[in-house]
Amino acid sequence: MARIVLGIEYDGSGFSGWQWQPNQRSVQSELEKVLSKVANRPVTTICAGRTDAGVHALEQVVHCDVDVGREFHAWLLGGNSYLPDDIRIIWVKQAVSDFHARYSAIARLYRYIILNRPVKSALQGKQVTWCYYPLDAEVMNKAAQHLVGNHDFSSFRAQGCQSKSAFRMVHFVDVCREGDTVIIQICANAFLHHMVRNITGVLMDIGMGKQAEDWALTLLAAKKRELGGVTAPPYGLYLVSVYYPACYGMSKHPAFNKLPEDAKRFD
C-alpha cells in the first residue's frame, strides 16, 4: 500500500460541498470516482479541510492509499481527463513518512473576496460575494485584529457545528481593498463550521458602519452565536493553501511567511 498526495483545485458552486452526501454532487464523490477508474479499484480520499456547498479551493490537499503501480503523471493526466471541468488535479506526489492530509496540517489559509460596487458582476456571480454598500476596508482590518490569538469562537460557529471545542488559534487576519474588491485573508490552525463566513459577516457590518469597530471583541466575549450577525454567502470563500511541517516536503504559500515562529516550531 502506497500513500499519494494530491493538490486539488475546484469551483465549488456546482457542488453540495467536499464530503460525500447521498444523492448529491460532491467534490469527494467526483474525485474518488475518477481515481478509482485510474486505479481500476476503489479509492478513498481524505482531505485537509472539508469545504461547504459553494465554497471553492485553490489548493485543497488530499491523500489516498493505493496498492497499484501508477506513475504520478498517470494520476495527474489520467485523472484530469476524466474529471468534470470544475475540478482539477494540479499536482501529485508521494507521501513522506506518516503524512496525513488533515492531521499533519499546522495551519489553513482562507480568502474571502467581496465585490464592492453598485453593480453585480456578469462574470463572477458564483466566485465573489457582491456588496453594493461601501465598505471601509481599513476599519474592517482594525476590527479583525481583535480575532488574532487563541480564543473561544462560539459566537462565530454554526449552530450545528460538531466540534467538541470552540477554541481556535487565529494566526493572522488581513483585510485590504484592491479597486472594487475587498479581500479578507485569514489563517488559523483549524476552523469551526462557518467560522470564516461568520467572521466575514461581522466584518462587513463593521465596514458598512452598522456596528462599532470593537464589535468583534464584544462577540468573542459573549460566546453566543445568536448575537453574531449574518453568515456571509459561500461563493466568495476560497481554501487557498494548507501549511505542513517541513519534514513532509510540501510547498509553502508565500502568505505563510507571516506565521509566528511558534506556529512553525515543527519546521
CA distance 55 to 236: 7
Q: Map grid coordinates 456547498 to a residue.
A: 53
Q: What does each C-alpha distance from 247 to 95, 105, 107, 243 come to in angstroms?
A: 11, 12, 15, 12
Burial class (CB in 10 A: 0-12, 13-18, 19+), 224: exposed
Grid cell at residue 86: 470544475
Q: Do the domains at 2-104 and 107-239 have one common CATH topology?
A: yes
Contact of 214 with 74, CB cutoff 8 Å: no
pLDDT confidence of residue 13: 95
pLDDT confidence of residue 91: 97
What's the distance, Cα to Cα, between the start and end of the chain in Å?
Answer: 27
What are the structural domain ranges in the chain?
Answer: 2-104, 107-239
Contact of 229 with 197, CB cutoff 8 Å: no
CA distance 220 to 188: 16
Residue among 162, 170, 156 at smallest CA distance from 224:
156
CA-based radius of gyration for the chain? 19
Clarify whether 52 is annotated catalytic: yes
Q: What does 170-209 look like in DSSP terms, one character per residue?
A: EEEEEEEEETTEEEEEEEES---TTHHHHHHHHHHHHHTT
pLDDT confidence of residue 113: 98
Weakly modelled stretches of the chain, pLDDT under 70? 265-267
Which candidate in 11, 52, 86, 180 is catalytic? 52
pLDDT confidence of residue 159: 83
DSSP 52: B
Q: How far is CA 63 from the centre of its chain?
A: 17
CATH code for the domain defined by 2-104: 3.30.70.580
Q: Choose which CATH entry (3.30.70.660, 3.90.1150.10, 1.10.1060.10, 3.40.720.10) describes domain 107-239.
A: 3.30.70.660
Grid cell at residue 12: 465549488
β-pairing verdict for 129-130 and 107-115: parallel
pLDDT confidence of residue 265: 65
Contact of 87 with 31, CB cutoff 8 Å: yes
